[in-house]
A = this chain, B = another copy of it.
């Protein structure tokens, strides 16, 4: 049984549950960006974008570097690593679960055939 310190997962999944933030992360995969660049694709005010960035930052998915008046954002590799590990384990768990469910369903099917 795999056990995790879970408070951080709350924040990560919560951060990922918003399409604007997922989209921002997608953008950041292409490389660092400053706040206005991150804001550009969205029809929302800068303060709203600022809040999304803060949430990503709090979840540790995003890292901010101040360079003068510009704030440069990039994906945080350390947390990415941790999140990645969790996701991989979780994928594995779900994978094996799915297998057993498929077996179960196949068995059911066979049973129904026999009736």
Contact = CB atoms under 8 A, between A and B. Distances in A.
The secondary-structure label for the interface of chain A is: helix
Interface residues on A, range: 20 to 34
A81 B95 CA distance: 8
A87 B90 contact: yes
Q: Copies per complex?
A: 2
B91 A87 contact: yes
Contacts of A16: 9, 13, 17
A101 interface: yes
Contacts of A102: 77
A94 B77 contact: no
Contacts of A83: 94
A98 B29 CA distance: 10
A10 B6 contact: no
